[in-house]
Amino acid sequence: MQIKVLGTGCKKCNELEQATREAVAALGINANIEKEEDIMKIMEYGVNRTPALVVDGKVVISGRVPSEKELKELLS
């Protein structure tokens, strides 16, 4: 699984990255997690609000940090 956390480094972006790493570890998922902070690359995903989460090339969350439960459901 390929996961990207899109965000410019704000508090919420960092929270999403940490929550994503924790959810992946808790679920035992084999995933490659990357953080993308380049605004031009973020815009290529059509994301207008960060943080955003991209799973296997598809934007699944944008503009907010999901709950732990929702995040685990998205990654399962």
Residues designated catalytic: 10, 13
Confidence (pLDDT) at 15: 97
Phi, psi of 16 (to 5 degrees): -65, -40
DSSP letter, residue 28: T
Domains of the chain, start order? 2-75 (3.40.30.10)
Confidence (pLDDT) at 1: 95
| Closest-CA residue to 17 (of 42, 45, 48, 50) | 50
Q: What is the pLDDT along the chain (76 residues), one digit of tens a residue?
A: 999 999 988 999 999 999 999 999 999 999 999 999 999 999 999 998 999 999 999 999 999 999 999 999 999 9
Confidence (pLDDT) at 9: 87
What pTM was estimated for this model as a whole?
0.93
